[in-house]
Structure 1
């Protein structure tokens, strides 16, 4: 009789750990389902409009949804999970697009130009932003987005700095606006300047913000521009790893002097995974079907993350940001494009 009386208690105790494990999944499930449905719709639309990046469509769709519909509270944990966790996995898989041999084939001169674009782009944007009176986090998000690889860089940097949500969304929105404008501007200016197709491709890869935007501009230029534009852009993407490592080290130093603040890792795990994926792709052991699947998965994850980021856009909050980030975006775009063009012209 005693054992029968205690049986329900024991069964309840055994089920408790399982309930605790399922609780986080139940919390994120509604938002994840919303994100998954939106991602599928965006990817389908992207197939119909291949000239437009699904990442850009996703963030616009998320922003429209958030400002036309009061997103229920139960959706928010899943959206937050998508904007942070799925983004990091997507950035890591981005490494599978990179073959170090292709980057090294650019030659020491062009690699030096890429390093200069990223280093001088970040430094110049940070300096201009300081003159405009913008905070450090806002300046750095814009600097990395415009100098490295657009929205993915903004979101990756947000993973290691303590930025406000409005600052992240402002930086991503500016990447979309100015990077899209560059798709038309670079081919026209390259033609006016009399650049050869390969030179114009190098300039596009060295100056335009998003990989998808570079592809669009390279295709518009024609000739051999597209291939070289993509390789130069991917060389800039590689620079994401050392930049994240440097800013992580900065955050660790700052956290030493703050109470009850956890110190971030010197190199975030997703950056280590990004480098590992790059090394794996460089070995050439992965079959083509695996690379195709990985590319689709990476695009889907980044699309989901951009939708979730867009779902946090509050138009009223963005209005409060004022015109200064817009001015900095214009300055940064011009500066990065100037550095890239100077480097291309010096190489002849």
Structure 2
């Protein structure tokens, strides 16, 4: 009997989680909560006049970078922070697919899609070429080229696993693209009254040349609803082209690694399938067979942005200001030159 009791007692002890596992689980959850809190601070700052045009992504990354410089990386919370930076990032990209209405782009935006293809090719190739001329850091330069050509932070976050970019480059790239895109969108609104173009022309120009959907909305809104609608349609075409671009980059990276004996093949980014499925669901189910209010869609959009912001906090904590100026200045110059040339050229072909 005593043997049976002892064995039963041992079984109970085995089933009970150890204090070490409890502690690690607690630190894991605390790490996720840490990124969520800073993301909430980023959202709060983005509502302050002066910061409202910058957006929560850039605000949260700046807060995370400042925290890292003053307090160091919170090593005890690393597992939860890395979960936000990796897993939550992919989940946010999947949800981001709901922002893309494939049906609208294919039925109304095909002429714009051709121009979008030219914009993406020009932005990436020109930025990479300028980066080589300036001897800029290649990985960050390529990320900025993709962000400039496609859809800003979401594009950078989508291609960084494919390009094997480190977390620091990804965070720096997202921060730069958010800040520069904001400056350009504000400049567009200031220039609009002096440009000899129609509101529709201005909307197309904004949609095919500005960096993120938020930047396009910011610049397009003052020109009226029609201009804003065509601007967002042009931008959605660039978001749609993110899908084939990712497959091209996978092929390119595998070809590049095949010539290197130590290189490994790029794993397929399965979250991209989620992005495609959510795009199809949002395009052909929501509003058709499934009725959803605009309020719900706005809530999902805000949730997506918040999750993406939490993920960016995890990336921002990897940024060292000591190396930032030396590493980011030349890629920033390459991206700025590309953005300026792109804006001038597309003004005449929009």
Task: Give yes or no for TM over 0.5.
Answer: yes
- For the Cα contact (< 8 Å) 1:117–1:339, is it kept in 2? no
Contiguous gaps of at least 5 residues in structure 1: none
SS of the residue corresponding to residue 323 of structure 1 reads helix
Distance in 2 of aligned mates of 1:46 and 1:173? 14
1:287 positional shift: 1.2
Map of 1:271 onto structure 2: 272
Please give the alpha-carbon distance, in whole angstroms, between the structure 1 residues aligned to 2:42 and 2:102: 31
After TM superposition, give the deviation of residue 282 of structure 1 in Å.
Answer: 0.9
- TM-score, normalised to structure 1's length? 0.87
Q: TM-score, normalised by structure 2?
A: 0.87
How far is 1:112 from its partner? Answer: 0.4
User: What does residue 37 of structure 1 align with?
Assistant: 37
Cross-structure match for 2:117: 115
Deviations 1:258-291 (A, max 9, x none): 567653333x111111110110011132512542
Q: Paired residue for 1:311? A: 317
Cα shift at 1:93: 0.7
Change over 3 Å in CA distance of 1:258–1:155 after alignment to 2: same
1:97 to 88, 96, 99: 99
Please name the residue that 2:171 is paired with.
169
Determine which of 321, 325, 332 is the counterpart of 2:331: 325
After superposition, where does 1:50-69 map in structure 2 within 5 Å? 51-69=53-71
Distance in 2, matches of 1:216 and 1:172, equals: 18
- Counterpart pick for 2:90 among 68, 88, 91: 88
Q: CA deviation at 1:310?
A: 2.4
Matched, 1:215 2:220: no
Select 1:248's aligned residue among 247, 250, 254.
250
**RMSD of equivalent CA atoms:** 2.7
Who is 1:5 aligned against?
A: 6
Once structures 1 and 2 are overlaid, which stretch shifts more, 269-278 or 37-46? 37-46
Cα distance in 1 between the residues matched to 2:47 and 2:126? 37
SS at the partner of 2:319? Answer: coil
Is contact 1:150–1:172 with CA below 8 Å preserved after alignment?
Answer: yes
1:196 corresponds in structure 2 to 198
Contact 2:58 2:179 in 1 (8 A): no
1:225 to 224, 227, 230: 227
CA distance in 1, matches of 2:39, 2:323: 25
Shift in Å at residue 182 of structure 1?
A: 0.4
Q: Distance in 2 between matches of 1:303 and 1:28?
A: 18
* Contact kept in structure 2, 1:147 and 1:336, CA below 8 Å: no
User: Given that residues 41 and 60 in structure 2 are in contact (C-alpha distance below 8 angstroms), is that contact kept between their aligned partners in structure 1?
Assistant: no
Distance in structure 2 (CA, Å) of the matches to 1:25 and 1:343? 56
Question: Which stretch of the first structure deviates more once superposed, 270-279 or 256-265?
Answer: 256-265
**Which of 66, 72, 83 is the matching residue for 1:70?**
72
Runs of 5+ unmatched residues, structure 2: none
How far did 1:15 drift? 4.6
User: Per-residue displacement from partner, 1:300-325 (whole Å, max 9, x unpaired)?
Assistant: 11121222222322211102316311
1:100-145, Cα deviation, whole Å (9 max, x unpaired): 2322344432110011111221122222212222343222111111
The residue aligned with 1:160 is 162
Count of residue pairs brought into register by the alignment: 342
How much does 1:74 deviate? Answer: 1.2
Secondary structure in 2 matching 1:224: helix
Q: Which moved more, 1:276-285 or 1:316-325?
A: 316-325
